[in-house]
Amino acid sequence: MKKLILVFSVLALLFAGCEKDEDDINVELQEGRYHLTDDPNDYVKHYVYEFNQKYGTIFIVNPELQDYKYNFMSEVKVTLVPPVQEESIIKSGIEMFEELFLSKYDEEFKKNFLPFKIELCDTIKYKPGSRWNYYDTYTSHGFIAMSNVNADLAEMSESDKEKIQLELHLDFWDKFLAGARNAIPIPNSFFDISNDYYSQSPDPTPESKEELVEMMHDAGFIDYPGSESSSYKYTQYPDEYEDVRCFFKSMMTMPKEDLQELLEANLKVKTKYEILKTVIKENLNFDITTFPIEDLNK
CB atoms within 10 A of CB 55: 18
209 Cα distance to chain centroid: 29
Per DSSP (E only), the strands in the chain are 58-60, 79-81, 117-120, 123-126, 133-135, 137-139, 143-146
Q: Which of 166, 112, 106 is nearest to 139 (CA)?
A: 166
Cα distance between residue 195 and residue 99, in whole Å = 38
Give the β-pairing of 137-139 and 79-81: unpaired
> pLDDT value at position 227?
85
> pLDDT value at position 70?
63
Q: Which of 123, 132, 125, 140 is nearest to 82 (CA)?
A: 123
Q: Tell me the sheet residues that pair with 139.
A: 144
124 in Cβ contact with 138 (< 8 Å): yes
96 in Cβ contact with 153 (< 8 Å): yes
> pLDDT value at position 94?
98
CB atoms within 10 A of CB 195: 12
> pLDDT value at position 101?
96
121 in Cβ contact with 63 (< 8 Å): yes
165 in Cβ contact with 108 (< 8 Å): no
177, 180, 183, 189 alpha-carbon torsion, rounded to 10°: 100
Global pTM exceeds 0.85: no
| pLDDT tens digits for range 145-200 | 999 999 999 999 999 999 999 999 999 999 999 998 999 999 999 999 999 999 99
> pLDDT value at position 297?
45
> pLDDT value at position 32?
54
Domain boundaries, the chain: 2-168, 188-296
Within the chain, how many helices (H) and strands (E) appear?
A: 11, 7
Half-sphere exposure of 195 (CA within 13 A, CB side): 7
48 in Cβ contact with 57 (< 8 Å): no
- The stretches in the chain having pLDDT less than 50 are 2-31, 297-298
Q: 3-state SS of 56-91?
A: CCEEECCCCHHHHCECCCCECCCEEECCCCCHHHHH
> pLDDT value at position 92?
97
> pLDDT value at position 69?
72
